[in-house]
Amino acid sequence: MKLNKDGTPRKKGSGRPKGSVSFTSFTLKQLSEQLPEGARIVVSRIWADNLNLAGGDTATVTAQPKIQVATAVAEESSSPISVQEINLDDL
């Protein structure tokens, strides 16, 4: 049994499960078939450094997508679910 820093038992399921992977691989052909020409692809900075790729944009993402938050009605009614758009730039 693994323990936390304070000596209490670690909660089951915390962290990455054994046997799971964080990365997957695709062929360049698969990517080029799915992405339009000129598409920007996010890669690890360390991976780019290892390939001696220069000129990458290391700035953080500036345009945040809008997120739709659906709220369900607690009562049984025939009213539709309301949707509220949140622009993350306004936060």
Q: What is the pLDDT of residues 28-79, one digit of tens each?
A: 899 888 888 888 888 888 888 888 887 766 655 555 555 656 555 555 556 6
**Closest to 89 in 3D by CA, of 61, 70, 69:** 61
Q: pTM for this one? A: 0.38
For 33, list phi and psi in degrees, rounded to 5: -75, -30
Say whether pLDDT at 84 is over 70: yes
Looking at residue 20, its pLDDT comes to: 82
Query: Helix (H, G, I), strand (E, B), or coil: what is residue 74?
Result: coil
pLDDT digits (tens, 9 = 90+) for 21-42: 878 888 989 988 888 888 888 8
Q: Please, which pLDDT band fits residue 6 given cuts at 50, 70 and 90?
A: very high
Q: Which residue has the tokens 């304070």?
A: 6
Q: Which residue has the tokens 């052909």?
A: 29
Q: Please, which pLDDT band fits residue 3 given cuts at 50, 70 and 90?
A: confident
